[in-house]
Amino acid sequence: MKLGIIGCGAIGTDVAMATDEMEEIDEIYLYDVVEEKAMELASKLKKAKFMHVEEFIPKVDIVFEAASQKAVREYAEKVLEQGKNLIIMTIGTLFDDEFREHLIDVAKRHGAKIYLPSGAVAGIDGIKAASMAGIDEVTLVTTKSPESLGRHLSRRTILFEGNAREAVKQFPKNINVAACLSLAGIGFDRTKVKIVADPVVKFNSHKVLAHGKFGRLRAEVENLPNPNNPKSSYLASLSAIALIKKIVSPLQIGV
């Protein structure tokens, strides 16, 4: 399988390095708006080379995005129109219902699939399964250091409390987990989100609470920040790597 990667920041780098070791991956094409960053990363890998997105789309089987909402809007449709599968890491872009449904329609018409990694949150499989019977309520409580949220605070502060749609709008770089959780469950408008900045925490914490006909679900994970980007949890990179491994594997585990 041939893989294209858009975005060579912390997550893109983690994915590139991991897939470079996967025997199922034959070639890797890298692109970043800072071209030198992609070129430098490519020079460290065995299977990778730098190439512009429009050039590598026809060559690859799947494209992995780990760049920005702007990148998703610029390239997602182009990828799907050529029948290529797409992994979107910047899931918050999909809070725009019209844009999301348009991409789904394009994917259907061209026989492509859109994959959304679970990211830094736990419990997505449970939420997806529970949604088959109906979920009454889903709440996400995210706690991070003030610095990772772009703030300088000396005490624990609730920065946001509302629905997932507004959370993604106000914290587009920090709360992709809310977007993934919303799409897996009861939507952006019904999913409740609380974002807390706490100067004493050493981990990025995500707690999911849900109840419905299935019963009750409580899932909590305390993530170490990615060493190359404290705004991102390392588990987010690992979820993307696990998803690619699942795609290329004949054994499928989980919902």
Do 136 and 216 belong to one domain? yes
Do 65 and 133 belong to one domain? no
Do 8 and 52 belong to one domain? yes
In a domain, 11, yes or no: yes
Q: Write the CATH number for 189.
A: 3.30.360.10
Q: Chunked in runs of 10, what are the mean pLDDT values of the chain (255 residues)?
A: 97 98 98 98 98 98 96 98 97 95 98 96 96 97 91 96 94 86 97 97 93 97 84 90 96 89
- What does the pLDDT read at residue 113? 98
Do 7 and 83 belong to one domain? yes
In a domain, 78, yes or no: yes
Do 11 and 109 belong to one domain? yes
In a domain, 38, yes or no: yes
Which of the residues are catalytic? 206
Do 100 and 184 belong to one domain? no
This prediction's pTM: 0.94
Do 90 and 184 belong to one domain? no
- What does the pLDDT read at residue 229? 78
In a domain, 29, yes or no: yes
In a domain, 228, yes or no: no
In a domain, 230, yes or no: no
Do 112 and 146 belong to one domain? no
Helix or strand or coil: residue 52? Answer: coil
How many domains does the chain contain in total? 2
- What does the pLDDT read at residue 78? 98
Do 112 and 128 belong to one domain? no
- What does the pLDDT read at residue 218? 98
Q: Which domain holds residue 76?
A: 2-116+236-248
Are 134 and 208 within 8 A, CB to CB? no
Do 41 and 70 belong to one domain? yes
Q: Write the CATH number for 23.
A: 3.40.50.720
Which amino acid, residue 175?
I
- What does the pLDDT read at residue 195? 97
Do 50 and 110 belong to one domain? yes
Do 32 and 65 belong to one domain? yes
- What does the pLDDT read at residue 233? 84
In a domain, 254, yes or no: no
In a domain, 229, yes or no: no
